[in-house]
C-alpha cells in the first residue's frame, strides 16, 4: 500500500471512529465502497455503494448480497434467508471482505480505538 493510500485509510478510519452514534457519511471515500458507518451497540452497521457481495467473518461467517432495500443474507448454497437488512451488521473484531468482482475487492475490520468503535 502506498503512502497516500495509508494516509487515506487512517483518515477514513479516524472519521468513522469519531462519528459516534450518528454515523459518518463517506461519500467521497473509495475505501471498500463504504457509504455510512453507524455504531450499533458493541459493533457497527455499514452501508456500501455499488458493491456485489460482502462476506463477514467473525463468530460466524455470513455472506450478504446487494438487494433492493439493502443487503440480503445468503445461505451457503446462495439462497436468500429472510428479508434484506438496511445495513450490514458487524461486531467488534469482525472482518468484512467486500467484493465488486474477483479482481476488485478489499477488507475492513471493526476496531475499538480510544474507547470508540468504528472500522479500519
- Residue 100, Cβ density class (10 Å: 0-12 exposed, 13-18 middle, ≥19 buried): middle
Strands (E) in 12-60, as ranges, are: 24-25, 34-39, 43-48, 53-57
Check: CB of residue 32 under 8 Å from CB of residue 5: no
- At 56 the pLDDT is 97
Cα-based distances in Å from 31 to 14, 19, 44, 63, 73: 13, 16, 16, 19, 22
pLDDT value, residue 30: 60
The grid coordinates listed for 112 are: 475499538
pLDDT of residue 102: 81
Q: What is the pLDDT of residue 83?
A: 95
Q: Locate 80 and state its grid cell.
A: 436468500
What tens-digit pLDDT sequence spans the chain (120 residues)?
Answer: 433 333 344 444 444 444 444 554 444 446 889 999 999 888 999 999 978 899 999 999 999 999 998 999 999 999 999 999 999 999 999 999 999 888 889 999 999 999 999 999
pTM for this structure? 0.75
Q: For residues 100 and 48, what is the distance between their CA atoms, to the nearest angstrom?
A: 11
Residue-number span of the structural domain to which 54 is assigned: 3-119
Residue 34 buriedness (CB in 10 A; 0-12 / 13-18 / 19+): buried
Amino acid at each position: 500500500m502506498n503512502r497516500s493510500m495509508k494516509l487515506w485509510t487512517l483518515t477514513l478510519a479516524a472519521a468513522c471512529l469519531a462519528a459516534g452514534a450518528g454515523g459518518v457519511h463517506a461519500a467521497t471515500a473509495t475505501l471498500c465502497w463504504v457509504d455510512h458507518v453507524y455504531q450499533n451497540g458493541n459493533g457497527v452497521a455499514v452501508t456500501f455503494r455499488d458493491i456485489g457481495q460482502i462476506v463477514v467473518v467473525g463468530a460466524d461467517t455470513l455472506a450478504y448480497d446487494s438487494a433492493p432495500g439493502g443487503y440480503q443474507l445468503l445461505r451457503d448454497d446462495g439462497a436468500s434467508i429472510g428479508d434484506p437488512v438496511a445495513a450490514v451488521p458487524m461486531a467488534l473484531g469482525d472482518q468484512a471482505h467486500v467484493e465488486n468482482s474477483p479482481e476488485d475487492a478489499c477488507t475492513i475490520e471493526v476496531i475499538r480505538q480510544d474507547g470508540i468503535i468504528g472500522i479500519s
